[in-house]
């Protein structure tokens, strides 16, 4: 009956289904399932289910106890990534297995949300369908929601960065030199930044690296994954799949999305001030930028 009434309303006002779809809101994460269990066993089951639905596991990351992140890619992600400028940021999706209380939550990034946030030439609907088939779909969560149109021009607030204003961390003579420098820097791990995964974009000189960030002591906490998430990921359903952070080699340049965009796109409803707010991690964007730049051979003040 509801579907019938909706159809009548659309016809009456001359509104097409396509227009209504454009107005639908998207949220950054999807809850696949929730129930009793242990992280390690559930992570193994998740990997098997992902493989059965055509995903390749690019890497895994355990940022803190009771949480494992599985990064996956497939042909649709890699080919779609090649069709837009810096589309490589969307060449992988992140799946998280997190124990909260007595339950284990299986969650993942919403491919359509991320595709629009990263201005890709497509919405990765096939990938979204395969993730749902592999892991389930209880609900989207993580924000009140944004339309595709708003996501494609998103920034958190006045004066803060858009998707097309990334940090240029370093520049090399060629793509090959840039990728080699990133590999070497992450292997050294001198800034507390280490490699989680690598995904090469199909038919393009572009590579996405996922990185773990672990700072030491009070001086290093502002770029530390565990510390940052302890301040901002506090709701009942965790947004663990925000991690890991990413670095993109595109042609001869090395980029990272500025943290005021990269964090905000996962937590767009996070308050500016107060408990569990951006104010609590005010120093993190610059700390992250510096650590990433230095880890890939760039300068501390790279912009």
Name residue 70's beta-bridge partners: 60, 95
Q: What is the pLDDT of residue 160?
A: 92
The pLDDT of residue 206 is above 90: yes
- Read off the DSSP letter of residue 25: E
The pLDDT of residue 16 is above 70: no
Work out the burial of residue 275: count CB atoms within 10 Å of its CB; fewer than 13 is exposed, 13-18 middle, 19 or more buried.
exposed
pLDDT band at 303 (very low <50, low <70, confident <90, very high): low
Q: How far is CA 84 from CA 14, 201, 256, 287, in A?
A: 33, 11, 16, 29
pLDDT band at 276 (very low <50, low <70, confident <90, very high): confident
pLDDT band at 116 (very low <50, low <70, confident <90, very high): very high
The pLDDT of residue 19 is above 60: no
pLDDT band at 17 (very low <50, low <70, confident <90, very high): very low
Q: What percentage of the chain carries pLDDT values higher than 70?
A: 92
Q: What is the pLDDT of residues 145-189, one digit of tens each?
A: 999 999 999 999 989 999 999 999 999 999 999 999 999 999 999
The pLDDT of residue 126 is above 90: yes
Q: How far is CA 7 from the centre of its chain?
A: 35
Q: What is the pLDDT of residue 122?
A: 96
Q: What is the pLDDT of residues 248-273, one digit of tens each?
A: 999 999 999 999 999 999 999 999 99
Residue pair 277/143 in contact (Cβ under 8 Å)? The answer is: no
pLDDT band at 136 (very low <50, low <70, confident <90, very high): very high
User: Domains in the chain, start-ordered, CATH in brackets?
Assistant: 27-295 (3.30.310.70)
Q: Tokens 């930028």 map to which residue?
A: 289
Q: Tokens 């003579």 map to which residue?
A: 173
Q: What is the pLDDT of residue 124?
A: 98
pLDDT band at 219 (very low <50, low <70, confident <90, very high): confident
pTM of the model: 0.90
Residue pair 218/79 in contact (Cβ under 8 Å)? The answer is: no
Q: What is the pLDDT of residue 302?
A: 61
Per the model's pLDDT, the better-predicted residue between 8 and 209 turns out to be 209
159: left (phi over 0), alpha (psi -120 to 50) or beta: left
Instruction: Give the C-alpha separation, 26 to 252, whole Å.
Output: 34
Q: What is the pLDDT of residue 10?
A: 43
The pLDDT of residue 12 is above 80: no
Q: What is the pLDDT of residue 18?
A: 40
Q: What is the pLDDT of residue 274?
A: 85
Q: What is the pLDDT of residues 21-54, one digit of tens each?
A: 446 999 999 999 999 999 999 999 999 999 999 9
Instruction: Give the C-alpha separation, 133 to 141, whole Å.
Output: 18
Provide mean pLDDT across the span 207-217: 96
Residue pair 106/136 in contact (Cβ under 8 Å)? The answer is: yes
User: Residue 79: how many CB atoms within 10 A of its CB?
Assistant: 17
Q: What is the pLDDT of residue 59?
A: 98
Closest CA to 77 of 131, 27, 26: 131
User: Residue 68: how many CB atoms within 10 A of its CB?
Assistant: 21
Instruction: Give the C-alpha separation, 297 to 303, whole Å.
Output: 13
């Amino acid at each position: 009956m509801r579907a019938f009434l909706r159809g009548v309303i659309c016809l009456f006002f001359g509104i097409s289904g396509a227009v209504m779809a454009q107005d639908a809101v998207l949220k950054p994460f999807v809850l696949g399932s929730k129930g009793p269990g242990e992280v390690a066993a559930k992570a193994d089951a998740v990997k098997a289910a992902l493989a059965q639905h055509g995903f390749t596991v690019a890497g895994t990351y355990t940022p803190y106890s009771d949480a494992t992140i599985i990064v996956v890619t497939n042909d649709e992600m890699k080919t779609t990534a090649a069709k837009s400028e810096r589309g490589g940021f969307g060449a992988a999706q992140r799946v998280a297995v997190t124990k909260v209380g007595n339950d284990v939550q299986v969650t993942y990034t919403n491919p359509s949300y991320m595709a629009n946030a990263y201005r890709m030439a497509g919405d990765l609907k096939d990938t979204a369908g395969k993730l749902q088939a592999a892991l389930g779909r209880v609900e989207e969560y993580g924000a009140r929601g944004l339309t595709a149109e708003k996501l494609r021009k998103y920034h958190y607030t006045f004066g803060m960065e858009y998707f097309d204003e990334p940090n240029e961390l370093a520049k090399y003579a060629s793509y090959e030199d840039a990728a080699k420098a990133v590999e070497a820097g992450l292997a050294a791990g001198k800034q507390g930044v280490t490699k989680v995964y690598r995904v090469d974009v199909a038919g393009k000189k572009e590579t996405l690296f996922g990185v773990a960030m672990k700072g030491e002591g009070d001086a290093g906490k502002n770029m530390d994954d565990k510390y940052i998430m302890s301040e901002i990921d506090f709701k009942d359903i965790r947004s663990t799949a925000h991690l890991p952070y990413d670095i993109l080699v595109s042609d001869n340049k090395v980029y990272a999305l500025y943290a005021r965009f990269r964090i905000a796109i996962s937590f767009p409803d996070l308050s500016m001030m107060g408990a569990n707010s951006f104010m609590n991690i005010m120093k993190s964007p610059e700390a992250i930028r510096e650590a990433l730049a230095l880890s890939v051979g760039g300068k501390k003040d790279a912009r």
